[in-house]
Structure 1
Amino acid sequence: MDVLMVFLLALLWDLLLGESPALVHPVVWFGKLAGFLDSGWKRRGHSPDFLAGALVAIIVIIFALALSFLPFCLPLPLNYALAVYLLKSSFAIRSLHEHVARTVTEDIEEKRKAVSMIVSRNTENLDEGHLNSASIESLAENLNDSVIAPLFYFLLFGLPGALVYRAVNTLDAMLGYRNERYEFFGKFSARLDDILNFIPARLTVLLYLPLGGRKVLQHYRLARFKLNSDKPIAAMSAVIGVWLEKPGVYRFPGREPTNEDIMRALKVYWLVVAEWVIIVALLLAKEVFPCLSP
């Protein structure tokens, strides 16, 4: 199968059509499977919960692997069609832009509602500056999670790599909370997500360097709050020159972010996406990883 052709068709699909319907979206299936298994386990203590959570993660990952190998069981052109669809489902370029663009509004309540759709924090008491910050932070973090990382693992391991990454990222989003219910049940998923994002998060920072130069490195050195997620946020803060803050967790310096800065962040987003898409296409064209391609 021509891996470059699969990538280019998946990219075209994403840019023209955006997200697939939820009913047939593999990431939704990963979430439903994890949710079903989660609901069936009554919490029984630290070790049993950790082992049960690890088993849930393994089951979802096996499901992702099984999906990724389906195209290789089909004849032309069905194998190409399914491979393109599955790869497209592993990343989200257009829809991320659309979600963040909805937060650009002068109506504070409308902004609050739009931001609440893309962040996990409570937006009820956030002022306008922190709402704008949350929007830009979400864009920067999801640039890594929804674009850079899945394509990084596609580049290395083909379709199985991209889908397994999305499965792990979905598990972390659903189970990776530090609260009474998920502290141990979700720990395996959270740590696995940390491992898989370690290189992509720092690769994302490198992609910001042509846009922000030395300032990106200065902000990167300040990013000591999280293992991975604060690194792309620090880089975005450096490039657009605004403070980005999650109260009580991290803060990067700059002036207060505005609606105009969200729009500037979206322009930066597209420049970084373009850099990465070109790099991935060139590496696939040159067959840098021929033994790992699907």
Structure 2
Amino acid sequence: MEYIWIFILAIIWDLTLGEPPVLLHPTVWFGKLIGFFDRHYKRRSPALDFAAGAFASLFVIAFAFALSRLPEFLPKWIGFALSVYFLKSSFAIKSLAQHVKNTIKEDIEEQRKYVSWIVSRDVSKLDRAHLNSAAIESLAENITDSVVAPLFYYLIFGLSGALVYRAVNTLDAMIGYKNERYLYFGRFAARFDDLLNFVPARITVLLFLPFNPRKVIEYWRKAKFKLNSDKPIAAMSAVLEVWLEKTGVYRFEGKEPTLEDIRKALKVYWIVVGEWIAFVFVSEIVKSFFVQ
């Protein structure tokens, strides 16, 4: 039952208090560690860069794993509280919704500023519709990264699964780019992140099925642009019946997205997240019977 209570309290923490202080956030620690390796390693050759990037990534992953085991060596209630804290740090439900809600601005320049905070693409020349699309895409994609995947790995591997996933996802966000600096140095992290997100991305799509099963499946089949990230975006496009597009990468057809569609996407988000929380909760209860 301990795993269930850790899960429940972590969810309550997220929905009421939000994110822990930046300096005390494990994700920030993971980022600083890989940043240290990134700054101090001078690129040499594809093979050496890949090896160095893999070593740095594995070091961060080992650190995340060690953190996850720390509560076991502390007095029971301190370890329990730390487990709640670490699990909460692995996912972000409330803050993701808030970041996307902030993009609902009538002033297009103000909207552009907030959208730039949640997407990696250059938003300086995006029109209103593409800004709306970018906000909705970010919300849909991050359902996997910020909610489904960390809790999926918690369900299977406990706290170690959740924290290791968060470390890998942070590595991908920081060095998993296909540019000159990170093409080889970040390749291990990027591929590991692809591997860990493969199942959760498809679970996320399944959570959209109750809205419009036929259309979600239709759009899912069209999502062949990316290995994982386009799957929940396709599902959100199908449910909202709007086009979602990252120019030159993917496009899912529909009507032009508006500010109101961002609001609708947030309503869909909360339902999908509710489904997943309920599933994990019930699964943990079933697990507890087998463990006993």
- Runs of 4+ aligned residues of structure 1 deviating over 2 Å after TM superposition are 288-291
Kept in 2: contact 1:156–1:289 (CA 8 A): no
Superimposed CA distance per residue, residues 71-103 of structure 1 (whole angstroms, 9 cap, x where no aligned partner): 111112101110000000000000000000000
Match of 2:38 in 1: 38
| Secondary structure in 1 matching 2:55 | helix
Q: Is 1:139 the equivalent of 2:151?
A: no
Kept in 2: contact 1:243–1:257 (CA 8 A): yes
Match of 1:125 in 2: 125
**Cα distance in 1 for residues equivalent to 2:75 and 2:66:** 17
| Secondary structure in 2 matching 1:251 | strand
TM-aligned CA deviation for residue 211 of structure 1? 1.2
Query: Superposition pairs for residues 1-294 of structure 1, below 5 Å?
Result: 2-287=2-287
Superimposed CA distance per residue, residues 188-233 of structure 1 (whole angstroms, 9 cap, x where no aligned partner): 0000000000000000000100112110000001100000000000
Q: Aligned-residue CA RMSD in angstroms?
A: 1.2
Kept in 2: contact 1:175–1:185 (CA 8 A): yes
Code of the residue aligned with 1:255 in structure 2: it is K
**Cα distance in 1 for residues equivalent to 2:283 and 2:232:** 23
TM-score, normalised with respect to structure 2: 0.98
**Cα distance in 2 for residues equivalent to 1:288 and 1:37:** 41
TM-aligned CA deviation for residue 122 of structure 1? 0.5
Identity of aligned residues (%): 63
Aligned pair count reads: 292
Superimposed CA distance per residue, residues 22-72 of structure 1 (whole angstroms, 9 cap, x where no aligned partner): 100000000000000111100001000000000011000000000000111
**Cα distance in 2 for residues equivalent to 1:290 and 1:246:** 45
Kept in 2: contact 1:34–1:60 (CA 8 A): yes
Distance change (3 Å), C-alpha of 1:192 and 1:241:
same
Code of the residue aligned with 1:197 in structure 2: it is N
TM-aligned CA deviation for residue 286 of structure 1? 1.3
TM-score, normalised with respect to structure 1: 0.98
Q: Structure 1: give runs of 5+ residues left out of the alignment.
A: none
